[in-house]
Amino acid sequence: MKTRFKLLTTVGAFLISGFFLPAAQAQEAAKKPSINVEDLVKKASHAAYYNGKDGTAKVEMIIKDGQGRERIRKFTILRKDIDDKNDGAQKFYISFSYPSDVQKMSFLVWKNINKADDRWMYLPALDLVKPISASDERTSFVGSDFFYEDVSGRIPTEDRHTLLEESKQYYVLKSEPKDASKVEFSYYKNWIHKDTFIPVKTEFYNKANKLYRSYEASKVGKVGQYNTVLESKMTDHVKGGYTIIKYSAVAYDKALPESIFSERYLRTPPRKYMK
C-alpha cells in the first residue's frame, strides 16, 4: 500500500510539472516564445547598429548586375551615437575614395528616432551639397542593391513585429510597416541569431507577396568585445543582381567628436579619424 501511494504521488508530481500535460496544452506551451518580441527587436537593432559609443570602418562594395558586370566602390564610414544609452539618435559620415567618378563624394546622415532622418550628399564635380528627401530613403545607395535606409538602419517602431517561429539557433520575425504608403514592401522576415542577436538574414516581400530582395550576413566575427558583421550581401531577385559589402579596419569607441558630422566636413573629410 505504501509502495502504491508513493507511485501515485510521483505520477501526480509529474502531472503538476507538465510532463504529462494533455497534447493540446503541451503544444500551446511549446508555442510560447522564450523572449518578448519588442525586447527581441531592440536587441537585434542594437547588435546591428549600436556597437560601442561610436565606430569606424573601411568598406569595399562589389556591385554585380544581372548580366555579370562588376563595379567596385570603396569608402570609409564613421558613426557616432548621440543618445548612446537608449539606442537613440546617431550620426553617420561616409567618404568615398574609389573609383575616380565618386572619389571625394561624401554622405551624411543624422538618424532621428521620432521624425524622418536628415541626409545630405556632397557632389564634388558640382561642389554641391544635396539634401536627400525622406522619400528617397528606400532607393539605391550609389547604384548598389543596398538602400540609403540600409546604411543607417530602419527605426524598429516604424513596423509591427510578430514572432513567426523559434528554432535552436534563430528567432524568425515578420515585420509589417505601420504606414505602407512610405515603403515599397508589404512585409519583411528577419532571422535573428540567438547567441548574438545579429539579424543574419532578411527577406523583403512585395505587395504581391513575392520575394524581391534579400540580405544575408555572410561573415560575422569578434571585434574586441563586439560581435560584428564583416561581410554582407544584398540580392535583387527581380533584376538578378547583387551587392557584396566587405568591412575591414573596424574599430569602436574612438571618441569621435560630434563636430565632424556636419556640412563643413562633407567638403573637407576629417582625415585624422579616417586612418
Q: What is the pLDDT of residues 90-124, one digit of tens each?
A: 999 999 999 999 999 999 999 998 888 999 999 99
CA distance 86 to 89: 9
Q: pLDDT higher for 13 or 49?
A: 49
pLDDT mean across residues, the chain:
89
pLDDT recorded at residue 1: 46
Locate 185 and state its grid cell: 514592401
Residue type, 246: K
Confidence grade of residue 275 (pLDDT, cut at 50, 70, 90): confident
Half-sphere exposure of residue 182, counting CA atoms within 13 Å on the CB side?
13
pLDDT recorded at residue 86: 79
- 26-59 residue pLDDT tens: 454 445 567 899 999 999 999 999 999 999 999 9
Distance of CA 26 to the CA centre of its chain: 35
pLDDT recorded at residue 93: 98
pLDDT at 212 over 90: yes
CA angle 135/139/141 to nearest 5° reads: 125
- 128-148 residue pLDDT tens: 999 998 888 899 999 999 999
